[in-house]
Amino acid sequence: MNFILALVPIVWLIVAMSVIKLPGYKACLIALAVAALEGCFIFGLTPVETITAALEGILNALWPIILVIIAALFTYNMTLETGAMEDIKRMLGSLSNDNRILMLIIAWGFGNFMEGMAGFGTAVAIPAGMLVGVGFDPILAVVACLVINSTPTVFGSVGVPATTLAGIAGLDILTLTRYAATIQFVLTFLSPFLAVIIIGGGLKAMKGMFPFTLIASLSFVIPQFLTAAFIGAELPNILGSIISMVIMVAAAKLLPHQVEPEYLIKASGKKEQPMTLQKGLTAWAPFIFTFLFLLLTSNLVPVIHDPLAAIKSSVQVYAGENPGTLNFFWVNTPGIIIFIASFCGSLIQKASPATMWKVLCRTVKTNVKTILTVCSVLAVAKIMGYSGMISAIAAVLVRVTGSFFPLFSPLIGVIGGFVTGSGTSTAVLFGSLQAQTAQQIGADPAWLCAANEMGGGVGKMLCPQSIAIGCAAVGIVGSESKILGKAFIYCLFYAVLGGLICFFFPILGLV
C-alpha cells in the first residue's frame, strides 16, 4: 500500500502531462500539493518538516539550477538581439554543398554545442530551423534533431542535470560523469549515423558518407568522454562539439567527396557579404568567453578554482532528522560564470547595458513557468525523499526485479524524460530512487543514476514539449503526431540498447 501511495505524485505527473495535457507548471504544482498532503497525513512528516523539505528543494532549484538556466538562455537571447545568431547561421550554412555533411555540422556539431550551452529546447529548435532554412524537409529535420539531442542531455545546460543528480543522490561528480559518458558512449556514437539515414531517406544516404560520419562521431564522443572523466559535468558537450565542428569543417574541405545529385544543396541566388574573421569572432564572442571562463575556473586550474570555490555558504534547511546540507557557491558556479562571459561578449557586440537589462528581464519573464516547474519538482523530490516515499518505491522494485533491475533502470529515466522533457527534472524525480534501489541490490548507485540520465535524454525524443518546440521552430505546428510516430522506433531502440548496456557492462568489467 505504501508503494502505491508513494507512486501517486509520479503517476499524477504522467497522467496530467500526457493524457490531460495539463501545462507542466500546473501539473507540478498539483504534484507538490499531493506530495505534501501525503507526507503529512500518511508518511509521518510534521507540517514543519514538510514545509522545510519543500523549502530546501526550492532553494536548491533557485541556486544553482534556475541561475544557470536563465544565464544560458540570456546568452542565447542576446545573440538574437545583437544579430550574432544570423551571422553564426550564415557561417555554418556556407561550409558544404552536400546537405548530409551540412546537417551533421549544424545538427550534430552546433546542436550539441547549444545543448551544452543552453539546453531546454534550444538544441532542437535552432538547428532544426537552420536546416529548414537551407532546404531540408521540416519533419525529417525535427526527427533528426530529436534523435541527436537524446544523448548529450546529461551534460546539457553546462552540466546542470549531472550536478543536480550528484547533489540529490550524494554522488561524487566525476564518478557520475565518467559513468554517464560510458553508458551512453555507444548511443552517442550511433546518433550521427542514424541522423544521416533519417535526413537522407534511408540507408542509401550512407553511400559515400561513412568516412565523414565516422569522423563526425568520433571527434565528438572521444573528447566528450575524456572531458567527463577528468574535468566534470560542465564542459563535455561544449568541448566535444567545438572539436567536432573544427574537425568536420576540415574534413569537409580536405576529404575527396562526390556529392550525389539528390543531396546537392541548391544555390539560393542571394549575394551574401563575405564573413570576415573579426565579424565571425564577434558573433561567437559570448560562447568563446563562456568556454574559456568555465575552463579557467574548473578544477583543472586549482589556483583559480580553489579560492573562488571557497566563497560559499552551507546551510541546513530541513527541520527533521538527517537533514541535507545545501552549499551555495556565490562566485564559482556555472550560472555566474556564464553571466560574466555573456556580458563581456555582448559588450564586444556593442550591446548597451540598457539592452542587456531589457533582455535579461524578458528572459526571466518568459521563463516564469519553467522556474515554477523546476522549483515544484525539486520540492516534490525532497518531500518524497525525507518522508520515505522513495524508499517505499525502491523496496518494491527490488522485490519485483531483483538483480535484473539494471535492465529496467534506463526505462525509468525514459518515463521521466517523456513526462518532463528535462534531464534535470528526471534527475530530481528519480535520482534518489535509482540510488536507493542500487544500494539494496548491491549495485553501484552512480552507475544506475547515470542510466537514469541516459534514459531521460532518450525519453525527450517523445516528450510532447520537445516535439512542440521543434514543430514551432520549423513552422509545422499540428504535425506533432507525425513526428512522434517517426521518433518512436528510435526511442524504443535506444531504450532497449541502453538497458542491455546498463546490465551487461558491469558484468563484463567495462566500467
Q: Give the torsion sign (CA, 382, 385, 390, 392).
A: negative
Question: Cell 568541448 maps to which residue?
Answer: 239
Residue 269 has pLDDT above 60, yes or no: no
Question: Cell 524504443 maps to which residue?
Answer: 492
- Give the number of residues written for the chain: 511
Q: Tell me how crowded residue 55 is: count the other CB atoms within 10 A of its CB.
A: 15
Q: Tell me how crowded residue 462 is: count the other CB atoms within 10 A of its CB.
A: 22
Question: What pLDDT is recorded for position 108?
Answer: 95
* Cα-to-chain-centroid distance, residue 343: 24
Q: What would the mean pLDDT of 252-264 be, rounded to a whole number? A: 77
Query: Phi and psi dihedrals of 233, rounded to 5?
Result: -90, -15
Q: Which of 94-103, 342-351, 366-375, 377-386 has the highest mean pLDDT?
A: 342-351
Residue 229 has pLDDT above 60, yes or no: yes
Question: What pLDDT is recorded for position 44?
Answer: 93
Q: Tell me how crowded residue 325 is: count the other CB atoms within 10 A of its CB.
A: 11
Q: What would the mean pLDDT of 461-473 be, rounded to a whole number? A: 78
Cell numbers linked to 240: 566535444
pTM for the structure as a whole: 0.78
Residue 473 has pLDDT above 80, yes or no: no
With cut-offs at 50, 70 and 90, classify the pLDDT of residue 347.
very high
Residue 33 has pLDDT above 90, yes or no: yes
Question: What pLDDT is recorded for position 64?
Answer: 79
Query: Do residues 305 and 299 touch, judged by C-beta distance below 8 A?
Result: yes
Query: Do residues 385 and 469 touch, judged by C-beta distance below 8 A?
Result: no
Bridge partners for 312 per DSSP = 329
Question: What pLDDT is recorded for position 266?
Answer: 63
Of the candidates 243, 329, 343, 228, the residue with the CA atom closest to the CA atom of residue 290: 343
Of the candidates 363, 374, 390, 431, the residue with the CA atom closest to the CA atom of residue 154: 431
Question: What pLDDT is recorded for position 39?
Answer: 95
Query: Do residues 454 and 184 touch, judged by C-beta distance below 8 A?
Result: yes
Question: What pLDDT is recorded for position 276?
Answer: 85
Residue 273 has pLDDT above 80, yes or no: no
With cut-offs at 50, 70 and 90, classify the pLDDT of residue 60.
confident
Residue 271 has pLDDT above 60, yes or no: no
Question: What pLDDT is recorded for position 422?
Answer: 80
Query: Do residues 162 and 183 touch, judged by C-beta distance below 8 A?
Result: no
E strand or H helix at 159: helix 156-169
* Rounded-to-integer distance, Cα 461 and Cα 414, Å: 9
Q: What is the mean pLDDT of the chain?
A: 88
Domains of the chain: which residue ranges?
2-257+280-318+327-507
With cut-offs at 50, 70 and 90, classify the pLDDT of residue 58.
very high
* Rounded-to-integer distance, Cα 364 and Cα 126, Å: 20
Residue 18 has pLDDT above 80, yes or no: no
Of the candidates 34, 43, 46, 40, the residue with the CA atom closest to the CA atom of residue 2: 43
- What letter represents residue 248's amino acid? M
pLDDT tens-place string over residues 183-216: 999 999 999 999 999 998 889 999 889 999 999 9
Q: Which residues contact 361 (CB under 8 A, 6 or more apart)?
A: none
* Rounded-to-integer distance, Cα 15 and Cα 258, Å: 50
* Rounded-to-integer distance, Cα 85 and Cα 117, Å: 14
Question: What pLDDT is recorded for position 194?
Answer: 97
The three-state DSSP-derived secondary structure of 17-42 is HHCCCCCHHHHHHHHHHHHHHHHHHC
Task: Give the 3-state secondary structure of residue 257.
Answer: coil
Residue 330 has pLDDT above 80, yes or no: yes
- DSSP designation for 65: I
pLDDT tens-place string over residues 97-149: 788 998 999 899 989 988 887 676 778 877 887 788 777 889 999 999 999 99
The three-state DSSP-derived secondary structure of 226-247 is HHHHHCCCCCHHHHHHHHHHHH
Give percent of the chain with pLDDT exceeding 70: 96
Of the candidates 116, 134, 324, 65, the residue with the CA atom closest to the CA atom of residue 220: 116
Query: Do residues 509 and 493 touch, judged by C-beta distance below 8 A?
Result: no
Question: What pLDDT is recorded for position 272?
Answer: 61
Question: What pLDDT is recorded for position 267?
Answer: 53
